[in-house]
Structure 1
Amino acid sequence: MRRHGHGLVLGKFYPPHAGHHHLVRTARDRCEKLTVLVCAASVESVPLADRVAWIREVHPDVEVVGTVDDIPMDLNDAAVWDAHMAVFTAAVPERVDAVFTSESYGEELARRFGAESVLVDPARTLYPVSGTEVRADPARCWDFLEPPVRAALARRIVVLGAESTGTTTLALALADHYRRRGGVWARTRYVAEYGREFSEAKLAALRSRWPGAQWEDVTFTTDDFPLIAETQNAREEAAARAGSPVLFCDTDSFATTVWHERYIGGRNPLVEKTADRVTHHLWLLTDHEQVAFEDDGLRDGEELRPWMTDRFRAELTRTGRTFIEVTGSRRERLDTAVAAVDALLATGPHFTAPLPERR
């Protein structure tokens, strides 16, 4: 039975984890209405809008409000408490009947709201995790994170290159390499190139009308490429939500901008906007040298491979994307790529320190 009218959960959610979600669900079950107030400081590196969106997605049955709170906390200073309360009550002006926390300051916070204090698992026995621990080592805390947070924190690596330069082979080998590490890494995902699937469907549709059709008979329009880019992004997002702290992509929506040049000529602003909406962390450019061209029925551009390699290199450089080139044998390419990915993972997602707090 719900005992309270309007409940409040307040926190940074930097980032939200299983302990936060347990607190929210517990409060929701005990209140007629629940408000979750997300408080973010300007110095913190995860935007307030992202945290609000994550909480709303996981808890669609509560009201989620966000506010900027740039006041350092001092639990022993009444004036500091007053300043914080001015921020809190401006964001949540309605009467609050119960304040739910897992923190020692819960009693004072509730008193200042004129509400009942409800402590929920203050020892963190049900979910032994904290925001500090997640920020320090997201991979170790991966199972305490919900899909939208995993998608935001996963390091996304793109393998791209001209036709028949081993992009698929390398991307699959990388995914397999990291799966073999076991644990959370066993869930490492690979995202296939949607453009190839799209091309296969185009050729099949043409052959249904003209059985003798070949790849050179297939035509593309500029409108095909935004669809390819959007679908690639959506599949990456789904894989990042379900996978490990690293994701390997066989090309991406950025690569689609160059493929548009290859098949149509010129640029398509819609494709470029789509490419800019997703964050990747490292691009691996497969060189065409020392890789024999194989015509698998969907390729006809052996002579264009040097041009494609140059265009990828030029656009990666122009747009400021972090990339390395991989050359040599299959083994050498994999070793080079693994070293680059390991270096990326060693840095991890960077979180700026929250405001200091005195207790």
Structure 2
Amino acid sequence: MKKTALTLGKYAPLHRGHQYVFDTALAECDELVVLIYDTQVISTPLHIRAGWIRTLYPQVTVIECWDGPEGYSSERAFEILQEEYIFQMLAGRRITHFYSSELYGDHVSKALGALDRRLDEARATVPISATMIRENPLQYRDYVSDVVYKDLITKVVFVGAMSTGKSTLTEALAQKYQTTFAPEYGREYWTTHQIDRRISFEAFDEIAIGHLAREEEAVLQANRYLFVDTNAITTYLYALDYHGKAPTLLTQIALENASRYDLFFLCDADIPYDDTWDRSGDQKRQVFQKQVIADLQERRIPYITLSGSLEVRMAKVEAVLAGFVKYGNFFGRGF
């Protein structure tokens, strides 16, 4: 007889305890069905949480429950409501084993006519809960897969022309929030590879790829926030400035950058120009700043302008972050 397992939850977020249930069910049964419920306890949307499971367990059938019963109660009326909803979402699937780590495993398994497989109710095997992770993701980093952890981090990028204070601000904020940051890879690459202050057309793809690699490394150890100095959109503009066009890969990465970050801050060109050997003068800075702004507008990317001293800029970023909710409709709040 075919063994079909079922488990359910909010997975807000998905952690090693949930994966322990998945792994056990997959080891004991022929297939696994997961019902994932909508919830307000975490801002991460349902389809993204479902995507975590689909990425880590492509062999699992994931069913998104957008209108499931809210909350939990041991009253029989609520249990019946929950059972009826489960039957509705299963759409005739025969379940032989019900896996859970909760008390509801009793009534749900009975309703399904399935074996009640209660695992690690005391959280002794995997001592973690979603609440613990939501309160301090970095402290419980080892209990969360990379796929999930990246989506728990708020990614903040600083853009603007050369010598607008991006690097200084990025590092200062990372220090204040005790987190990681991704430095500008393009300037480092240019310094190493430039010949007569020029780099090749193909080099711009290498810069974009290298910068993304640094971000991916930094985000996995970030503490709630990742601060990023420049991105592929700026690299794209430099390619246009150098060669009058941009490579295909860089163009695509720049396009994807519009949704890669949670917050865009534009560093204003109102601070003294740092006239180093690798730069082309304040007039060039002012022109390039206008091009950055025009590109953000063309891409329909909302951004917040930072002007004034480092302290004033940091204070504004801090105020924004204090009211920010990842995946929330943030720009309706008047900033």
TM superposition score normalised by structure 1: 0.73
User: Which residue in the other structure is 2:272 paired with?
Assistant: 290
Q: Distance in 2 between matches of 1:152 and 1:104?
A: 30
Note the alpha carbon deviations across 1:237-265, whole angstroms, 9 max, x for none. 33212322111111012323433343234
Deviations 1:123-176 (A, max 9, x none): 445434235x655x4558753433222211212222333223332233223222
Query: How far does the alpha carbon of each residue in 1:150-204 deviate from its partner, in whole angstroms, 9 at most, with x for none?
Result: 211212222333223332233223222322xxxxxxxx2121222224424542x
Q: 1:345 to 1:88 in 2, by over 3 A?
A: farther
| Aligned equivalent of 1:66 | 63
Aligned counterparts, 1:133-152, within 5 A: 137=135, 139=137, 142-143=140-141, 144-152=143-151
Q: Which moved more, 1:42-51 or 1:157-166?
A: 42-51
Q: Does 1:321 align with 2:302?
A: yes
- Residue 165 to residue 341, structure 1, CA distance change in 2 (3 Å): closer
- Structure 2 equivalent of residue 356 of structure 1: none
The 3-state SS of whatever aligns with 1:46 is coil
Q: 1:163 to 1:177 in 2, by over 3 A?
A: same
**Letter of the structure 2 residue corresponding to residue 343 of structure 1:** A
Structure 2 unaligned segments of length 5 or more: list them: 329-335
The Cα shift of 1:101 comes to 0.6
The share of aligned pairs that are identical, in percent, is: 25
Task: Say if 1:321 and 1:82 are closer, same or farther in 2 by CA, change over 3 A.
Answer: same
Q: 1:251 aligns with which of 230, 233, 244?
A: 230
Q: Confirm or deny: 8 A CA contact 2:264 2:303 kept in the other structure.
A: yes
Deviations 1:272-292 (A, max 9, x none): 423224123242415253233
Q: Distance in 1 between matches of 2:284 and 2:140?
A: 43
1:304 Cα offset (Å): 0.2
CA contact (8 A) 2:53 2:62 kept: no
Corresponding residue for residue 309 of structure 1: 289
Contact 2:46 2:66 in 1 (8 A): no
Q: Distance in 2 between matches of 1:8 and 1:202?
A: 56
Contact kept, 8 Å, 2:154 with 2:326, in 1: the verdict is no
Map 1:5-44 onto structure 2 (within 5 A). Answer: 5-29=3-27, 31-41=28-38
Aligned position for 2:214: 235
Relative distance call for 1:227 and 1:85 in structure 2 (3 A) is farther
The one-letter code matched in structure 1 to 2:144 is L
The CA distance in 1 between the partners of 2:129 and 2:317, in whole Å, is: 27
What residue in structure 1 maps to residue 260 of structure 2? 278
| 2:316 equivalent among 340, 344, 353 | 340
Aligned residue for 1:339, secondary structure, equals helix
- Residues 19, 130 of structure 1: 8 Å contact kept: no
State the partner residue of 2:332. none
8 A contact 2:182–2:228 mirrored in 1: yes
TM-aligned CA distance change 1:193 to 1:36, over 3 Å: farther
Question: How do residues 167-182 of structure 1 correspond to structure 2 at under 5 angstroms?
Answer: 167-179=166-178
**Alignment coverage as a number of residue pairs:** 315
Moved more, 155-164 or 247-256: 155-164
AA aligned to 1:129 is S
CA distance in 2, matches of 1:139, 1:340: 25
Change (3 A) 1:21 1:79: closer
Q: CA RMSD, aligned part only?
A: 3.4
5+ unaligned residues in a row in structure 1: which ranges? Answer: 180-187, 204-212, 353-359
Shift of the 219–230 alpha-carbon distance from structure 1 to 2, 3 Å rule, reads: closer
Within-5 A mapping of 1:154-193: 154-179=153-178, 188-193=179-184
Residues 9 and 36 of structure 2 are in contact (CA less than 8 Å); yes or no, is this contact kept in structure 1?
yes
Structure-2 change in CA distance of 1:42 and 1:189 (3 Å): closer
Superposed, which structure 2 residues align to 1:106-117 within 5 Å?
Answer: 106-117=105-116
| Structure 2 SS opposite 1:76 | helix
- In structure 1, the residue corresponding to 2:177 is in which secondary structure? helix
Deviations 1:278-315 (A, max 9, x none): 123242415253233111xx433543011122333344
Equivalent residue number for residue 196 of structure 2: 214
Contact 2:109–2:116 (Cα < 8 Å) also in 1: yes
Deviation sequence 1:41-87 (CA, Å, 0-9, x none): 49885344422332244456x52423334132576253552233120
Closer, same or farther: CA 100–260 of 1 in aligned 2, 3 Å: same
